A and B are shown apart, each in its own frame.
Chain A
């Protein structure tokens, strides 16, 4: 059997041929006969009453096909965009859940809120007509920050949401925490901001919708991480059309990072409009439009306190967070700062008591939802900053205090005080590995060398854990999820022995066509080039929940493994018949079914032929065909973790922070394809570095204008911002996934912000600096240095 590439190998990616030659098929590359162009008209105001829209001039413009507004949506009796996760407050009351109309009705609540959809023969004509639309706004005061939004007298977004609080949520044992704080020898306190981010996948969002009058079917091509979920939410809840009349296709998608995992209003509007105008419509967002409409991430204001005994042992953690949720509830919005945040506040430590209160707050900003890491980077940032503050205040070494409080490897499985039970991990092993890989021992020499050049050098640690592979459906249901979180896979062995896998996850850069093919190779012993992985099309794939939360391999891969096991089981029955042996005597290995203890065997190709050409076949007990399907619902999250060490140099003259070294040792369980895992870690780390040093979505507080509304003023990391990173893995195997795998897509983004900021604070500690909010821009650092409590000469 040639070219069987299994687990642990790094074959070159199957998907690369088309991407390298410009033959990818992204939504914006697709053309349909008779296609028109759509442009969304978006609110220029952060908050305003929508008094009326005069379509006359726009309709009269050349090439215009239709102009649709919220009034048309209401006339057609369409639903509003659903929220997929309903949480409850500490008083037991459900969250406030105002409607999110797909085109604004009555009011607009953020700059970018959709007001109308203009359809014309060409994009240029649609743009010209959009300019002619006369929208009568009565501007209202805007509020964009959470502290302002909950202040008395703040502008209110919804009449029935007092103080703009969507939900006042809590987790943990408040009384136990209070008792522990009373006994503490030391309490470390920290106020911090987790900056608002914009995901910026390089491919802007886009959609094409088409309606076929002959069959009554709709097709939507969309830049989505979860086409089946879009189909379900849109058809059943928004447009109220039968699900079997809707096909959703997410072809090649140019990056997602969470931003493309929501059901967006644009998708619903364009699908509805395609039937109204009886022609295909295409919409492609500009990057600037993406800034105003892609869901944003993070945006917390937090007060946190850590209680310690005199030896530096953690006794309790108390966290109060105000989380900005934006102008409406997006698909997973309320779940991110609550269920995906507070349960990770245990980190890798044995902290016995934790209490977290989160107020989820509406503001006149783009809705906030999941962005790579989603909740878990925020939790890690709180814990890992606070640990450094405690260490500094108590005069304990930062590594020593971490080591003293880490969950020992032998203590796993470990039940935290905040819901989750870690099945496996080795934080001390990761820490030890990183100390060596990062050459921490010789940091002093490097710091002295920097000092000779007049630069401040700092080292920062971040030890973290992630909960990923979302999630056991039963558990998610208890936490308010309105859907299940299983995954499905079909393994189709063709008559000639090639294999097609139909899987419900999506791939938008992660290389699943390669990784999943390796799993099939390993399981079935077929050549790598004979395996195709199909995803992203609701007409081809049975069902699926898509790709987010590092779930593809741990949940989707498990479904695939289970389906392959079923193929083997059926193959054994066929082989037993063909080889005239008992089924219990048939063994399967490396693509061959053989009778134990003999040299009699049949290859999987021979079995496939027999299954599709059943001349000699056990038809009385077995159906023909060799295709099996499995649905897999995980029994727990998986818990990757690790230790990241950042090294920075600060130029006191300019305040510029340069990342000069980065070391990561991550525990992602079994590695299927080391090359791909390393690539995921690289990418994740740089997105976290972006948050720490460069990226920030900034609103004008009074007008609600997004000031960082393009790539000109929202700084993404570029190639020359980064040093070469040192990446390695230190695996403990997940105890409940079939191959021992854990997720790896988000770990980099979770571990890195705290490591980088801890390094910046370390570099400036001699000036009396104890905290730096993200992003640590030159301007912010230069000001800190200028206002330092200790003069620079003290160095």
Chain B
């Protein structure tokens, strides 16, 4: 079946099988391997993407469900328009050493960006709670938490300027 959706800002039309997972469509057919698969029970969060602005574990979506929506993956994160800079949340992760092996990082970033939407000032408790669905095995979370708090603030500064 044919579906049409917006992928990282670009209109996209593809043929999909009825039971194809969104992760498979992205990784195998659209060549966007930034979205990672870390488990088979929707526990790890490495595959989080944004569906119409909300963070969703893409392993819970069938490809046909993407029809008509706006999908953002880690490849679609970007800094201020016209710049080659990273998104403020990506920059905050780099600045605060919020990643080690990098495998959980795309999912962490997508969760963090959604968490920060409309909230320039996130508390540590809010962030730790908000990251419950994303497992990182390398960092011990402390630097991720610092990064998300800083990234949230930076996103809103960027939005205002």
A15 → chain B, closest Cβ, in Å?
7
A402 → chain B, closest Cβ, in Å?
25
How far, in whole Å, are A679 and B109 apart by their CA atoms in the complex?
A: 18
Assess the A15–B102 pair: CB atoms within 8 A: yes
A12 at the interface (CB under 8 A from B): yes
Assess the B132–A720 pair: CB atoms within 8 A: yes
B99 at the interface (CB under 8 A from A): yes
| In the complex, chain A residues whose CB is within 8 Å of the CB of B74 | 21-22
A482-490, A584-592, A711-719, A773-781: which lies at the interface: A711-719
Assess the B34–A682 pair: CB atoms within 8 A: no
B119 at the interface (CB under 8 A from A): no
How far, in whole Å, are A681 and B142 apart by their CA atoms in the complex?
A: 11
B41 → chain A, closest Cβ, in Å?
5
B3 at the interface (CB under 8 A from A): no
Knowing A287-B41, A287-B44, A710-B40, say if A19 contacts B142 (CB, 8 Å): no
How far, in whole Å, are A255 and B100 apart by their CA atoms in the complex?
A: 8
How far, in whole Å, are A257 and B83 apart by their CA atoms in the complex?
A: 38
A203 → chain B, closest Cβ, in Å?
4
Query: Residues 34-69 of chain B: 1 if any A CB is under 8 Å from the residue's CB, otherwise 0?
Result: 111111110110100000000000000000000000
Of the candidates A12, A28, A202, which one forms a contact with B135 in the assembled complex, judged by CB atoms under 8 Å apart? Answer: A202
Assess the B32–A22 pair: CB atoms within 8 A: yes
Assess the A679–B100 pair: CB atoms within 8 A: yes
Assess the A21–B43 pair: CB atoms within 8 A: no
| In the complex, chain B residues whose CB is within 8 Å of the CB of A685 | 140
Chain A, Cβ-Cβ closest to B43? A711
B5 at the interface (CB under 8 A from A): no
| In the complex, chain B residues whose CB is within 8 Å of the CB of A400 | none
Q: Which of B1-54 contact A (CB under 8 A)?
A: 27, 32-41, 43-44, 46
Query: Residues 661-692 of chain A: 1 if any B CB is under 8 Å from the residue's CB, otherwise 0?
Result: 00000000000000110110111111100000
A477 at the interface (CB under 8 A from B): no
| In the complex, chain A residues whose CB is within 8 Å of the CB of B143 | 678-679, 682
| In the complex, chain B residues whose CB is within 8 Å of the CB of A28 | 27, 33, 37
How far, in whole Å, are A682 and B93 apart by their CA atoms in the complex?
A: 16
Knowing A21-B74, A202-B101, A255-B103, say if A683 contacts B128 (CB, 8 Å): no
The listed residue with most B CB atoms (<10 A of its CB), out of A15, A204, A720, is A720
Of the candidates B40, B97, B103, B134, which one forms a contact with A203 in the assembled complex, judged by CB atoms under 8 Å apart? Answer: B103
Q: Which of A105-146 contact B (CB under 8 A)?
A: none
B83 → chain A, closest Cβ, in Å?
14
Knowing A20-B86, A20-B105, say if A202 contacts B33 (CB, 8 Å): no
Q: Which of B95-141 contact A (CB under 8 A)?
A: 95, 97, 99-106, 109, 124-125, 127-129, 131-132, 134-141
Query: Residues 220-264 of chain A: 1 if any B CB is under 8 Å from the residue's CB, otherwise 0?
Result: 000000000000000000000000000000001111010000000
Assess the B142–A682 pair: CB atoms within 8 A: yes
Chain A, Cβ-Cβ closest to B46? A202
How far, in whole Å, are A93 and B17 apart by their CA atoms in the complex?
A: 60
Assess the B94–A13 pair: CB atoms within 8 A: yes
How far, in whole Å, are A21 and B99 apart by their CA atoms in the complex?
A: 12
Assess the A257–B137 pair: CB atoms within 8 A: yes
B71 at the interface (CB under 8 A from A): no
Query: Residues 279-313 of chain A: 1 if any B CB is under 8 Å from the residue's CB, otherwise 0?
Result: 00000101110000000000000000000000000
Assess the B142–A22 pair: CB atoms within 8 A: no
Chain B, Cβ-Cβ closest to A710? B41
Assess the A20–B90 pair: CB atoms within 8 A: yes
Of the candidates B35, B73, B97, B103, which one forms a contact with A13 in the assembled complex, judged by CB atoms under 8 Å apart? Answer: B97
Of the candidates A15, A200, A720, A748, which one forms a contact with B137 in the assembled complex, judged by CB atoms under 8 Å apart? Answer: A200
Assess the B142–A711 pair: CB atoms within 8 A: no
Q: Which of A709-768 contact B (CB under 8 A)?
A: 710-712, 716-720, 722, 724-725, 748
How far, in whole Å, are A414 and B44 apart by their CA atoms in the complex?
A: 45
Of the candidates B40, B73, B132, which one forms a contact with A287 in the assembled complex, judged by CB atoms under 8 Å apart? Answer: B40
The listed residue with most B CB atoms (<10 A of its CB), out of A17, A28, A255, A257, is A255
A405 at the interface (CB under 8 A from B): no
B110 → chain A, closest Cβ, in Å?
10
Assess the B94–A252 pair: CB atoms within 8 A: no
A29 → chain B, closest Cβ, in Å?
4
Of the candidates B34, B43, B103, B141, which one forms a contact with A719 in the assembled complex, judged by CB atoms under 8 Å apart? Answer: B141
| In the complex, chain B residues whose CB is within 8 Å of the CB of A720 | 125, 128-129, 131-132
Assess the B90–A21 pair: CB atoms within 8 A: yes
A510 at the interface (CB under 8 A from B): yes
How far, in whole Å, are A748 and B136 apart by their CA atoms in the complex?
A: 16
Assess the A679–B41 pair: CB atoms within 8 A: no
A98 at the interface (CB under 8 A from B): no
A508 at the interface (CB under 8 A from B): yes
A72 at the interface (CB under 8 A from B): no
Chain A, Cβ-Cβ closest to B130? A719
A669 → chain B, closest Cβ, in Å?
20
Of the candidates B77, B125, B132, B141, which one forms a contact with A686 in the assembled complex, judged by CB atoms under 8 Å apart? Answer: B141
The listed residue with most B CB atoms (<10 A of its CB), out of A17, A22, A287, A682, is A22
B44 → chain A, closest Cβ, in Å?
6
A24 at the interface (CB under 8 A from B): yes
| In the complex, chain B residues whose CB is within 8 Å of the CB of A687 | 137
Assess the B94–A12 pair: CB atoms within 8 A: yes
Assess the A719–B145 pair: CB atoms within 8 A: yes
Assess the B93–A20 pair: CB atoms within 8 A: yes
Assess the B124–A724 pair: CB atoms within 8 A: yes
Chain A, Cβ-Cβ closest to B129? A720
The listed residue with most B CB atoms (<10 A of its CB), out of A509, A681, A684, A719, is A719
How far, in whole Å, are A686 and B145 apart by their CA atoms in the complex?
A: 14
How far, in whole Å, are A704 and B35 apart by their CA atoms in the complex?
A: 35
Assess the B101–A509 pair: CB atoms within 8 A: yes
Assess the A202–B139 pair: CB atoms within 8 A: no
How far, in whole Å, are A350 and B13 apart by their CA atoms in the complex?
A: 71
Assess the A719–B41 pair: CB atoms within 8 A: no
B59 → chain A, closest Cβ, in Å?
11
Of the candidates B43, B100, B145, which one forms a contact with A509 in the assembled complex, judged by CB atoms under 8 Å apart? Answer: B100
Chain B, Cβ-Cβ closest to A254? B103
B161 → chain A, closest Cβ, in Å?
22
A102 → chain B, closest Cβ, in Å?
24
Assess the A201–B137 pair: CB atoms within 8 A: yes
Assess the A711–B44 pair: CB atoms within 8 A: yes
The listed residue with most B CB atoms (<10 A of its CB), out of A15, A17, A202, A724, is A202
Query: Residues 85-101 of chain A: 1 if any B CB is under 8 Å from the residue's CB, otherwise 0?
Result: 00000000000000000
B152 at the interface (CB under 8 A from A): no
A315 → chain B, closest Cβ, in Å?
38
Assess the A683–B132 pair: CB atoms within 8 A: no
B144 at the interface (CB under 8 A from A): yes
How far, in whole Å, are A16 and B139 apart by their CA atoms in the complex?
A: 14
| In the complex, chain B residues whose CB is within 8 Å of the CB of A16 | 93-94, 99, 102
Chain B, Cβ-Cβ closest to A748? B140
| In the complex, chain A residues whose CB is within 8 Å of the CB of B38 | 202-204, 254, 287
Chain A, Cβ-Cβ closest to B77? A21
Assess the B142–A722 pair: CB atoms within 8 A: yes
How far, in whole Å, are A28 and B109 apart by their CA atoms in the complex?
A: 20
B39 → chain A, closest Cβ, in Å?
4
Assess the A719–B144 pair: CB atoms within 8 A: yes
A26 at the interface (CB under 8 A from B): yes
How far, in whole Å, are A510 and B101 apart by their CA atoms in the complex?
A: 7
A188 → chain B, closest Cβ, in Å?
33
Chain B, Cβ-Cβ closest to A716? B135
Assess the B36–A203 pair: CB atoms within 8 A: yes
How far, in whole Å, are A684 and B40 apart by their CA atoms in the complex?
A: 25
Closest 4 CB pairs of A and B: A22-B34, A19-B102, A254-B103, A509-B101
Which residues of A are at the interface with B, using a C-beta cutoff of 8 A?
12-13, 15-24, 26, 28-29, 200-204, 252-255, 257, 284, 286-288, 508-511, 675-676, 678-679, 681-687, 710-712, 716-720, 722, 724-725, 748
A selection of 29 A-B contacts at a CB cut-off of 8 Å is A12-B94, A13-B97, A16-B94, A20-B102, A22-B73, A22-B75, A22-B106, A24-B34, A202-B38, A202-B103, A202-B104, A203-B38, A204-B39, A252-B101, A253-B101, A255-B101, A255-B137, A257-B137, A509-B100, A509-B102, A678-B143, A679-B97, A682-B139, A682-B141, A687-B137, A710-B40, A710-B43, A722-B128, A748-B140
